[in-house]
């Protein structure tokens, strides 16, 4: 576009490349993120890119990487981003633990940045040293808002429900998949980061992923002997597995250890509030609006949620995490896999709902809500059915009690819903019926992705 001179490659992912670039008008250096439209269209990531643009233009803070400009052509989207010359904070930690004063300075800047994000209704959800950059003066810059969520992403219960993040840094309530407060989850990640900066290693680490999840769920970790009592108390309050009693951002900032050498004016003076050139995220996709496939992605409310690797691990029978968080509680959910398209699965669930005289409401992203008309022992029975896409021809379906009596839900599942679903079920997670086992023996071997969900692969 004759505005930037492209330089060396800084990094590369599945859908984007990041280059160093020089502004031809000012001579200043920037990072240029180049996103392939066709690739993100194929995997249904348009909403995620739009959200990243919306978030980055909303969050204008000295300790957050700034989005200067967004440009688009027919095939590419260009993010012009502040260049962090010092690289990742992770590179410093990789050489060994930091001195307490240095760790505290980075932690202060991190908390100020994340607290500001929360004040704007933005939750990062993937905080880790690899996503914390340093500028040429050594100041911390929070980056990579690709997994962030806005306040309006919350469901009616006021919680977020997307399982995402990096396992070693993720809060126990996120793994639990019962809904979580985005701010509380970010605070947990900040606590893990502080531990890593001071220790040089992770508080929760195990070669066995299930064992690591168990440790996270119980907040089971040890302090190195060089941690002083003040910082031990602070980290213990942050890494509280109960989000309702976990320390708040305000209390962290009042903490005596945190306050040492802290300038209360830090982060109060925002960077110049110059809006990025594209203030409407939809503009970046303008050239695709006449593309029929793009329109289909945009308008298809029944399109199921795509599963990420974190979800696949969490859903797999061998990685059932409910035991880490719930004791002596009847199971309130059932999951099955199907080789049928999402439209057929939805149609089948609607038929079953009508036959059981349940009110069926179809929501977006492959979510159906079924509700009874009669009051049970604990109110009206409600069942949520959510469809997740692993591949276009392989889906995971989760049926979960949303209200009413658990025993009534289990009876309805056993006597009515499970038998009625037999035509579309490939296998139920957690058990294998003889009929299904015989069917599997006669069918070709499933792909590696399908094998993840097989009860034999625990």
Could you say which of 115, 126, 186, 240 is catalytic?
126
Residue 202 half-sphere exposure, CB side, CA atoms within 13 Å? 17
The CA-atom distances, in angstroms, between 74 and each of 12, 37, 78, 86 are 21, 8, 11, 33
Active-site residue, 126 included: yes
Beta-carbon count within 10 A of 209 CB: 13
Instruction: Report how far residue 14's alpha carbon sits from residue 334's, in angstroms, rounded to the nearest whole number.
Output: 33
Instruction: Report how far residue 458's alpha carbon sits from residue 432's, in angstroms, rounded to the nearest whole number.
Output: 13
Structure tokens at 87: 């690289």
CA terminus-to-terminus distance, the chain:
52
Structure tokens at 393: 């021809």
Task: Order across the sheet with 67-72: list the strands.
Answer: 4-12, 16-23, 29-36, 76-82, 67-72
Backbone phi, then psi, for 72, in 5-degree steps?
Answer: -145, 145
The CA-atom distances, in angstroms, between 338 and each of 319, 390, 413, 421 are 20, 10, 17, 10
Closest CA to 199 of 101, 130, 100, 90: 100
Asked whether residue 33 is marked as a ligand-binding residue, the answer is: yes
CB 32 within 8 A of CB 69: no
416 class by beta-carbon count within 10 Å (0-12 exposed, 13-18 middle, 19+ buried)? middle
- Active site positions, annotated: 126
Binding site for ATP: what residues are annotated? 33
């Amino acid at each position: 576009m004759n505005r930037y001179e492209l330089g060396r490659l800084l990094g590369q992912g599945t859908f984007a490349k990041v280059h160093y670039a020089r502004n031809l008008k000012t001579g200043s250096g920037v990072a240029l993120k180049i996103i392939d439209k066709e690739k993100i269209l194929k995997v249904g990531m348009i909403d995620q890119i739009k959200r990243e643009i919306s978030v980055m233009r909303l969050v204008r803070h000295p300790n957050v990487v700034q989005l200067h400009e967004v440009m688009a052509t027919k095939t590419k989207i260009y993010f012009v981003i502040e260049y962090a010359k010092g690289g990742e904070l992770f590179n410093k930690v990789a050489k060994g633990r930091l001195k307490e004063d240095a760790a505290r300075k980075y932690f202060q800047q991190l908390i100020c940045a994340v607290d500001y994000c929360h004040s704007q209704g933005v939750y990062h959800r993937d905080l880790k040293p690899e996503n914390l950059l340093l500028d040429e003066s050594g100041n911390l810059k929070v980056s990579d808002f690709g997994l962030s969520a806005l306040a309006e992403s919350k469901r009616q219960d006021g919680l977020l429900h997307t399982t995402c993040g990096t396992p070693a840094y993720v809060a126990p309530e996120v793994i639990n998949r019962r809904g979580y407060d985005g701010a509380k989850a970010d605070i947990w990640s900040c606590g893990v980061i502080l531990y890593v900066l001071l220790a040089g290693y992770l508080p929760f680490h195990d070669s066995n992923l299930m064992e690591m999840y168990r440790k996270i769920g119980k907040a089971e970790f040890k302090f190195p002997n060089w941690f002083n009592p003040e910082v031990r108390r602070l980290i213990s309050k942050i890494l509280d597995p109960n989000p309702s009693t976990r320390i708040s951002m305000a209390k962290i900032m009042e903490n005596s250890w945190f306050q040492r050498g802290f300038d209360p004016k830090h982060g109060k003076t925002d960077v110049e509030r110059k809006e990025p050139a594209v203030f409407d995220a939809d503009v970046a996709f303008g050239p695709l609006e006449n593309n029929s496939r793009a329109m289909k992605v945009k308008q298809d409310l029944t399109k199921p949620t795509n599963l990420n690797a974190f979800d696949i691990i969490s859903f797999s029978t061998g990685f059932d995490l409910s035991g880490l968080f719930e004791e002596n509680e009847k199971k309130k959910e059932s999951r099955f896999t199907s080789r049928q398209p999402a439209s057929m699965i939805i149609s089948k669930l609607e038929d079953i709902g009508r036959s059981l005289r349940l009110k069926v409401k179809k929501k977006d992203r492959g979510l159906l809500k079924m509700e009874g008309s009669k009051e049970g022992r604990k109110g009206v029975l409600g069942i949520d059915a959510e469809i997740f896409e692993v591949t276009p021809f392989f889906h995971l379906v989760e049926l979960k009690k949303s209200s009413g009596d658990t025993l009534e839900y289990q009876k309805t599942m056993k006597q009515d819903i499970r038998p009625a679903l037999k035509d579309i079920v490939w296998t139920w997670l957690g058990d294998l019926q003889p009929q299904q086992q015989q069917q599997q023996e006669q069918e070709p071997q499933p792909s590696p992705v399908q094998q993840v969900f097989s009860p034999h692969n625990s």
